[in-house]
Amino acid sequence: MFRLTELVFVVASWSLASAHTVLVYPPWRGNNIHTNGTVSDTDPSIVPGSIGINYDKNNDTYGFPYGMQWMYPCGGMPMSQNRTKWPLKGGALSIQPGWFPGHSLALFYINMGYGNEPLNYSHSMLPVFQITGPSNQQYEGTFCLPQVPLPANYTPKVGDNATIQVIELAQHGAALYNCADITFAEPEDVPEVNSTNCFNSTDPHQKIGFQVVYTTTSSPAPHNMVVSTYASILVPALLAAASWITWI
């Protein structure tokens, strides 16, 4: 039984990266940061109540002056034609979260949808965690979780398809959605993940703080620590442990 307790704590801080999101690995469905419309106080194409979507009735087309990442479930992007092979037991996830200003703090949710075209993305891969960016301006930092586990009680077979959904909940409450379409494969059949597509930024202007969020009835003092690039492989395990604490 899930019990929401009285206190929510954020513990542990690592040197790991916040804002409009880019999935580096597995590759995202496509560039949904790109804007293809304009907006101003006098722009008649932005209809009140349209949530930032403008419509050109002459061409019967829609524009997205704010980009498309806020559109559930995958930021407005259709399913990929070329899927990425991903290990049967889980694998790496690399993200660049800081491509727009205003998101020095954010929460991340990592979910999975099963099948060719998932009907929902309610299967959690990791508990929610928080990142703290180096700046509230745009930055290029990257963080990577080398071993993200599969959702509980899910055992795929080689050749099964699924979609990984990454949600960045920005400090002002906006949710940003991205997806990566995958096909499960034996680990030896998956291209090796290395420092070119799975790394944690070390530049002072790109470093990302990484914090576990969990609920508890006690109130221990927050404990801060710095985790090296190699030690970051422990992050998913620690997140899983925090998840276990939440379920009582």
At 160 the pLDDT is 98
What's the CA gap between 27 and 9, in Å, rounded? Answer: 32
Residue 237: band (very low, low, confident or very high) from pLDDT cuts 50, 70, 90: low
At 248 the pLDDT is 39
Query: For the chain, what is the mean pLDDT?
Result: 73
Residue 96: band (very low, low, confident or very high) from pLDDT cuts 50, 70, 90: confident
The fraction of the chain above a pLDDT of 70, given in percent, is 58
Burial of 142 (0-12, 13-18, 19+ CB in 10 A): buried
Give the model confidence (pLDDT) of 49-68 as tens digits.
555 666 667 777 767 766 67
Structural domains of the chain sorted by starting position, each given as residue range(s) with its CATH number in brackets: 7-32+69-246 (2.70.50), 34-68 (no CATH)
Is the confidence at residue 14, as pLDDT, over 60?
no
Give the model confidence (pLDDT) of 148-203 as tens digits.
999 999 999 999 999 999 998 887 777 889 999 999 999 999 988 888 878 777 66
H or E stretch covering 238: helix 235-246
At 112 the pLDDT is 98
Contact of 207 with 141, CB cutoff 8 Å:
yes
Is the confidence at residue 46, as pLDDT, over 80?
no
Rounded to a whole number of angstroms, the CA Rg of the chain reads: 19
